[in-house]
């Protein structure tokens, strides 16, 4: 019996409408993220050299827009340090108008790159790079909290410790309310009631008092402007996409669900275009806030992302004075917990390190070193991936073996080639044959090999040429279909003589 129309309609409703417990989790998660976003958005505004309101507007518009058009549910996008670092020189040299124009152009680039399938490149990011990405991110998040714990009133330290204790032990008693939210509320109440003088959110900068207004960037619409902003826009697009796609992949693993990376890429572009026209500094996925939302608070739907952005503006505009009184120690405690939850402790356990191949450990260490050294996640991922590919190529290159077997009558010899033939392994292939001493009939058996590229075909051509110069015949047998097709297509065509 088919379900009734009413039942089908209920099935189409999102989880947060069908289950009050999911709704409560998503709402509270969005509130926690919004509170944590405020000081970070202000900090990133300072890095970019713009007014704090510009970063807060970007966090609001990015989160709200990506909750609708993004491909990864529950992932948080907002103003980020990586994007701020990229566009800071442009703002410093040419002003806010050029920065906003670059954000819009970066969004266009991201849509184009998404449509061209840039997300498929994520398949080439090895697990060791992913582990290094996660661990370096945890380190960067912790390092960003260190200034908030240095040269501060002594009261900050017991507040920080109290916040950590609350977040560790409260979930053992109840999970009805996210522990970070309870910690923030409790520490704020203590500091306000006792009149404890410690750094607060309000010390980071003035909160906006109204919503952003749509407008065009204040720049001359000329080719000179385009050539000025294009390099910064492209750099922002690439860094933003890489960080967003890596974060989406991480959330996929944590939640054991799949997301559309192409939709996420295009969604990031749309969100940046909207942000630019509303005067924001642009952004991308935020790994720290995403971990608060997904891993700490347990959010799983788009509602938490939408509410994170919406609550951010409500907190700034309606509850600005109250939010300004939140002690930074409370938010630092939340981020420290995020660090511990994000870091892959299993990856550095002695038992794991003893079993892991040296190359995998090297890739992880190189990734972490590059990210922490440059404070740029994209640099670490690219360098780590290239290193992994080089190590893989060296490893596979040594797996190509040539074994000669001469016939009993000495009239012919069969060379059995085993392994993968590509540019790295085929370079040594030519030197493994005995051209001067072999019989007149030479058979090269490639049944246990695969020809991958033009370098391998060129190597086989060189072997045939060397034998024929000595008056000996060569027959190549055992090619599988793809190898045979490539050999037939390129053989004899790769040299000009």
**pLDDT, tens digit, 9 for 90 and up, residues 177-230:** 778 888 888 999 999 999 999 998 888 878 888 899 999 999 999 999 999 999
Q: Which of 440, 467, 444, 468 is nearest to 456 (CA)?
A: 444
Given a contact cutoff of 8 angstroms between Cβ atoms, the answer to whether 271 and 92 are in contact is no
Label each residue of 341-386 as H, E or C. HHCCHHHHCHHHHHHCCHHHHHHHHHHHHHHHHHCCHHHHHHHHHH
- E strand or H helix that includes residue 449: strand 441-451
State how beta strands 441-451 and 412-421 pair: parallel
Q: In angstroms, rounded to a whole number, what is the distance separating the alpha carbons of residues 412 and 443?
A: 8
Residue 497 predicted with pLDDT over 50: no
What letter would DSSP give residue 120? G
Please report, rounded to a whole number, the percentage of residues in the chain having pLDDT higher than 70: 95
How far from 479 is each of 270, 402, 453, 482, 491, CA to CA, in Å?
48, 15, 14, 8, 13
Q: In angstroms, rounded to a whole number, what is the distance separating the alpha carbons of residues 136 and 461?
A: 47
Angle at the Cα of 295 (from 293 to 297), degrees rounded to 5?
A: 50
pLDDT bin (cut points 50, 70, 90) of residue 9 is: very low
Give the pair of three-digit tokens for residue 178.
Answer: 């996210």
Q: In angstroms, rounded to a whole number, what is the distance separating the alpha carbons of residues 388 and 90?
A: 34
Given a contact cutoff of 8 angstroms between Cβ atoms, the answer to whether 259 and 390 are in contact is no
Paired with 401 in beta bridges are 418
**pLDDT, tens digit, 9 for 90 and up, residues 136-182:** 878 887 888 888 888 899 999 999 999 999 988 988 888 777 788 88
Given a contact cutoff of 8 angstroms between Cβ atoms, the answer to whether 59 and 334 are in contact is no
Q: In angstroms, rounded to a whole number, what is the distance separating the alpha carbons of residues 246 and 286?
A: 10
On the 0-12 / 13-18 / 19+ scale of CB atoms within 10 A, 362 is: middle
CA 12 to chain centre: 31
pLDDT bin (cut points 50, 70, 90) of residue 264 is: very high
Residue 61 predicted with pLDDT over 80: yes
End-to-end CA distance of the chain: 75
Q: In angstroms, rounded to a whole number, what is the distance separating the alpha carbons of residues 177 and 337?
A: 16
Greatest CA separation for the chain = 101
C-alpha gyration radius of the chain: 29
Paired with 29 in beta bridges are none
pLDDT of residue 145: 83
Segment 123-132 mean pLDDT: 82
**pLDDT, tens digit, 9 for 90 and up, residues 327-376:** 989 888 888 887 887 788 888 888 888 888 888 899 999 999 998 888 77
Residue 43 predicted with pLDDT over 60: yes
Given a contact cutoff of 8 angstroms between Cβ atoms, the answer to whether 31 and 38 are in contact is no
Q: Which of 420, 421, 417 is nearest to 432 (CA)?
A: 417
Residue 236 predicted with pLDDT over 60: yes
Other beta carbons within 10 Å of 474: 18
**pLDDT, tens digit, 9 for 90 and up, residues 81-106:** 778 878 888 998 999 999 999 999 99
Given a contact cutoff of 8 angstroms between Cβ atoms, the answer to whether 124 and 384 are in contact is no
Other beta carbons within 10 Å of 124: 10
Q: Which of 113, 431, 59, 85 is nearest to 271 (CA)?
A: 59
CA 43 to chain centre: 21
Residue 72 predicted with pLDDT over 90: yes
Q: What are phi and psi of 450, to 5 degrees?
A: -135, 130
pTM, 2 dp: 0.72
């Amino acid at each position: 019996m088919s379900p009734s129309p009413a039942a089908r309609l209920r099935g189409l409703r999102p989880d947060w409408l069908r289950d009050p417990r999911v709704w409560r989790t998503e709402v509270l998660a969005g509130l926690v993220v919004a509170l944590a976003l405020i000081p970070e958005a202000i900090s990133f505004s300072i890095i970019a050299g713009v007014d704090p309101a510009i970063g807060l507007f970007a966090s609001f518009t990015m989160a709200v827009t990506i909750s609708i058009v993004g491909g990864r549910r529950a992932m948080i996008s907002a103003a980020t340090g990586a994007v701020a670092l990229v566009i800071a020189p442009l703002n410093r040299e040419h002003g806010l108008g050029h920065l906003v124009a670059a954000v819009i152009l970066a969004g266009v680039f991201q849509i184009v790159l998404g449509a061209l399938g840039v997300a498929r490149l994520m398949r080439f990011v090895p697990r060791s790079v992913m582990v290094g990405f996660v661990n370096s991110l945890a380190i960067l998040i912790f390092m960003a909290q260190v200034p908030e714990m240095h040269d501060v009133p002594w009261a900050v330290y017991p507040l920080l410790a109290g916040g950590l204790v609350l977040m560790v032990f409260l979930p053992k008693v109840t999970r009805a309310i996210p522990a970070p939210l309870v910690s923030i509320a409790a520490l704020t109440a203590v500091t306000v009631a006792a009149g404890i003088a410690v750094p607060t959110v309000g010390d980071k900068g003035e909160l906006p008092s109204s919503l952003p207004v749509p407008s065009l960037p204040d720049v001359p619409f000329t080719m000179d402007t385009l050539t000025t902003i294009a390099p910064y826009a492209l750099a922002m697009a690439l860094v933003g996409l890489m960080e967003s796609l890596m974060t989406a992949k991480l959330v996929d693993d944590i939640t054991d669900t799949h997301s559309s990376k192409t939709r996420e890429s295009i969604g990031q572009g749309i969100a940046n275009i909207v942000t630019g026209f509303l005067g924001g500094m642009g952004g991308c996925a935020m790994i720290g806030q995403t971990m608060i939302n997904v891993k700490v608070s347990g959010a799983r739907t788009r509602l938490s992302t939408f509410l994170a952005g919406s609550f951010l503006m409500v907190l700034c505009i309606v509850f600005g004075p109250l939010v300004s009184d939140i002690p930074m120690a409370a938010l630092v405690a939340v981020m420290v917990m995020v660090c511990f939850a994000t870091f892959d402790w299993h990856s550095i356990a002695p038992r794991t390190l003893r079993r892991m191949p040296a190359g995998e450990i090297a890739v992880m260490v190189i990734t972490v070193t590059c990210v922490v050294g440059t404070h740029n996640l994209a640099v670490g991922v690219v360098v780590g991936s290239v290193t992994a590919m080089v190590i893989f190529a060296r490893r596979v290159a040594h797996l190509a073996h040539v074994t000669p077997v001469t016939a009993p009558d000495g009239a012919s010899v069969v060379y059995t080639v085993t392994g993968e033939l590509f540019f790295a392994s085929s370079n040594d292939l030519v030197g493994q044959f005995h051209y001067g001493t072999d019989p007149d009939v030479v058979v090269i058996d490639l049944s246990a090999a695969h020809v991958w590229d033009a370098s391998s075909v060129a190597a086989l051509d060189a072997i045939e040429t060397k034998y024929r110069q000595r008056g000996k015949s060569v027959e190549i047998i055992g090619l599988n279909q793809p190898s045979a097709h490539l050999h037939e297509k390129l053989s004899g065509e790769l040299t000009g003589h």
